[in-house]
Amino acid sequence: MSIDPDFLAVLDRFDSTIDRRSAARSRGEQRSAAIGEGLVFSDHRRYVPGDDTRRIDWTVYARSNELYVRQFETERSLTAHVLLDRSASMAFADRAAFEFAAKIGLGYAYLFAAEHNEFRLSVFGEAATRVDDAAGTGAVVSALDRLDEVEPRGQADPEAALSAYAETITSRSVVVLASDCLVDPDAFEAALRAVSDHHVVVVHVVVPDVLSPPVSGETIFEGLESPTSLRTHFGPREASRYRERVEAHWNAIESAAVARGGDYVRVRTDEPFYDAFERAWVG
């Protein structure tokens, strides 16, 4: 299968200037240390002759009878760092998880580029590999073609991949991690710790058959990322216990994301892309 580019038309319905950046700043997003004419308040300092009197904070003066001026930080553009899980489990159901994750990631790239910001698009398994980076919306189609060539395989090691990737981030950024999250929750939290200085968005992509396998009776389950297999009777009781364990795992992944100050969004591959992306973009 290949990623249908028609989804790009849906993105034009979104406002690329949505106030995600302001929301991110309230959660501690990195800011420039330079003081200038930006709109982001930094600090107060005592007034000295020659300062612009328009910057005097009269509220502070009323409380302290001292003159202070407001300082502001220079705004810098954001960079979207999109990391897509390329492990073997993302190939389940004819690459449904990988392709849906790719469309979410490409959506971020498209809207960031529309606002004249840059994006970095990578895939990760045991390490992260750059797919494309650019600043124009036209480059998103090129990135889509490259993602069509990606073959999900191997195991995911988000802790190792994100720890190494974090060293390459040099500016104020949004980090978007799209995955089926079939990893140990503790290891996942450790991975998010590496990028917790930035605004992190975890997009948990779910294939419905993972929660409710369309099987019953005597069944052989094959490992998605290992050569192991399990023969079992999969009746109503086993299906219920299985579902409880899957949901407990999902909740643990969500808790790990929240513990590291990230946004967590769960999307299903069978839901309309517009609805899924709206939650992933707006939160």
The DSSP result for 1-49, as a single string, is ----TTHHHHHTTS-TT-THHHHHHHTT------EEEEEEEEEEEE--T
Whether residue 24 has pLDDT greater than 60: no
Please give the backbone phi and psi of residue 236, each rounded to the nearest 5 degrees, phi first.
-55, -40
Q: Which residues pair with 173 in a beta bridge?
A: 79
For the segment 180-206, the average pLDDT, to the nearest whole number, is 96
Which of the residue ranges 99-103, 195-199, 222-226 would you say has the lowest mean pLDDT?
222-226
State which amino acid sits at residue 242. Y
Enumerate domains of the chain plus CATH numbers: 7-20+78-282 (3.40.50.410), 32-73 (no CATH)
pLDDT greater at residue 280 or residue 33: 280
Query: Is the whole-model pTM more than 0.75?
Result: yes
Mean pLDDT of the residues in the chain: 86
- The confidence band for 10, taking pLDDT boundaries of 50, 70 and 90, is confident
For the segment 229-255, the average pLDDT, to the nearest whole number, is 95
* Range with the largest mean pLDDT of 47-56, 113-122, 135-144, 156-165: 156-165
- Rounded CA-CA distance 186/160 in Å is 13
For the segment 28-44, the average pLDDT, to the nearest whole number, is 46
Whether residue 18 has pLDDT greater than 70: no
pLDDT greater at residue 61 or residue 266: 266
